[in-house]
Structure 1
Amino acid sequence: MPFWLDILAFLVKALVIVAAIGGLAILIVRLARSGEAPKDHEIRIKSINDRYDAMRDAIEAELVDKKQRKALIKARRKEAKARRNAPPGRRIFVLTFKGDLRATAVKALGREIDAVLMTARPGTDEVVVRIDSGGGTVTGYGLAAAELQRLRERKIPVTASVDQVAASGGYMMACAADRIVAAPFAVVGSIGVVASVPNVHKLLKKNAIEYEDITAGEFKRTVSVLGEITPAGREHFQDKLDAIHEAFKSLVAARRPGIDVARVATGDTWLAGDALGLGLVDEIVAGDELLFRARDSARLYEIRWEAKKTPLQQLTGGLGAAARRVADFALARLSGPAG
């Protein structure tokens, strides 16, 4: 008999959910017809200290009896009140940069730095930027490095933290910081420049297909995919790459004066341990450990510039979660007791 009651309960819940989904579907159709609101962004701030405290409290609450738990809650509330009334101490603002070839996250990085600059106190507060990037366009990563430089110009110390990779443009960004720390098996370096240009001119010529670049200016287009690459054009293109490489090396030398630039600016990469010996990084420590160590001496805040979700996106996201819960419930019932 209990088995049939379980089936009946499941069917009732399913009917309620289907009815709710139907109502939401009608609302979604109306929103879609009226048009979505334009996407916008906002700064989101999360206290990393509160996250640590919540984890600690949850674990401690399970390790004590009911009476001790009440005393613990009272003590934590007292601590929180004292913290609110205490004068503001050192604050560390944590930014995250997940890079791609075009450094598309640079716009969000700039907005996050705007928010920090309007709040941070020079000489007291700090910034940790967690970089994960294998590099990309010179223009994109040059801009990202310039954004970090804005913090240094206002006397706000910056630490670049690398857990996996900061190579090429990613390392250019890291060099804009006052200090670079890296996890033991992080990869850093790649102080070099590369440009890959496929050329099918010989294939076109073999098939009697003519292609011409009509330009004004001797060096308007020296290298192209379809046209013939002449020795003069190749040499000019190489000169441009060499000039960018020299600028990259100059930046590294200026930011890290103790480094042997000639030795490290070969385009090669190194694990963090070797990079430490070469002066490419200052300390071997993972990003989570870096923040964990600082939790008692500073207030840590994660700063993110994120896109707001439209009402339609919020509703569809809620429907997806509801559907997953229904599926999980049905699967649990069909699977029977575990053991």
Structure 2
Amino acid sequence: MFLLKTLTILVAIVVIIGAVTLASKKAVHHDGLEIEDLNKRYRMMANAVKQAVMKKEAWKKEAKAEKIRAKGDDRSDTKPIAFVIDFKGDLKASAAASLREEVSTVLEVARPDDKVVVRLENYGGVVHEHGLAASQLSRVRER
């Protein structure tokens, strides 16, 4: 009987500690930008499809040719870059401040021939905050 009570208390303590740890991990807010090479991502997806549809020998030949092309590919600074900014708005337009920081960062490093793409997902809401977000988009357009 004593062993069962002790075991129950220990399990309860472990569950509480786990819940607190999980809540604290979710509460951690990462300030900063998430940078992802979309070319690499799409290349990997294309390779997965090619591997699925091609014969094994043809796939190996294609993969070897791709590897040789990748080695010879010099990433010169003259090639234009497309920057993609994701904006997920809410009713309070709370993401307008982060959009300002992202636009400022991109405009700081972008060259005149680079492109900026803003993927906008918004459901409406507070007018003055959306005006601030629109002003950030006009900064991109002016540049």
Q: Same fold (TM over 0.5)?
A: yes
| Structure 1 Cα separation of the partners of residues 121 and 46 of structure 2 | 29
The aligned residue for residue 94 of structure 2 is 104
The aligned residue for residue 134 of structure 2 is 145
| Structure 2 Cα separation of the partners of residues 101 and 66 of structure 1 | 52
- SS of 1:59's equivalent in the other structure is helix
CA pair 137-120 structure 1, distance change in 2 beyond 3 A: same
Equivalent of 1:46 in 28, 31, 36 = 36
Q: CA RMSD in A?
A: 2.6
Over alpha carbons, which structure has the higher Rg?
1
- SS of 1:44's equivalent in the other structure is coil
The aligned residue for residue 117 of structure 1 is 107
Which amino acid is 1:82 matched to? G
Equivalent of 1:87 in 76, 85, 90 = 76
> Are residues 1:70 and 2:60 paired?
yes
| Structure 2 Cα separation of the partners of residues 99 and 72 of structure 1 | 42
CA pair 40-64 structure 1, distance change in 2 beyond 3 A: closer
| Structure 1 Cα separation of the partners of residues 115 and 141 of structure 2 | 10
The aligned residue for residue 240 of structure 1 is none
Which amino acid is 1:104 matched to? S
How do 1:1-339 residues align onto structure 2 when only pairs under 5 Å count?
25=14, 28=17, 39-83=29-73, 85-88=74-77, 89-122=79-112, 124-153=113-142, 155=143
| Structure 2 Cα separation of the partners of residues 43 and 140 of structure 1 | 21
CA pair 38-86 structure 1, distance change in 2 beyond 3 A: closer
TM-score with structure 1 setting the length = 0.33
| Structure 2 Cα separation of the partners of residues 78 and 107 of structure 1 | 44
| Structure 1 Cα separation of the partners of residues 103 and 45 of structure 2 | 29
Q: Percent identity?
A: 37
CA pair 53-38 structure 1, distance change in 2 beyond 3 A: closer
| Structure 2 Cα separation of the partners of residues 93 and 107 of structure 1 | 18
| Structure 1 Cα separation of the partners of residues 133 and 99 of structure 2 | 8
| Structure 1 Cα separation of the partners of residues 86 and 75 of structure 2 | 29
Q: CA deviation at 1:66?
A: 2.6
- SS of 1:114's equivalent in the other structure is helix
Which is richer in helix? 2
Q: CA deviation at 1:43?
A: 0.9
TM-score with structure 2 setting the length = 0.72
| Structure 2 Cα separation of the partners of residues 138 and 57 of structure 1 | 45
Q: Show structure 1 runs of 5+ residues with no match.
A: 1-21, 156-339
Which amino acid is 1:135 matched to? G
CA pair 38-48 structure 1, distance change in 2 beyond 3 A: closer
Q: CA deviation at 1:77?
A: 1.4
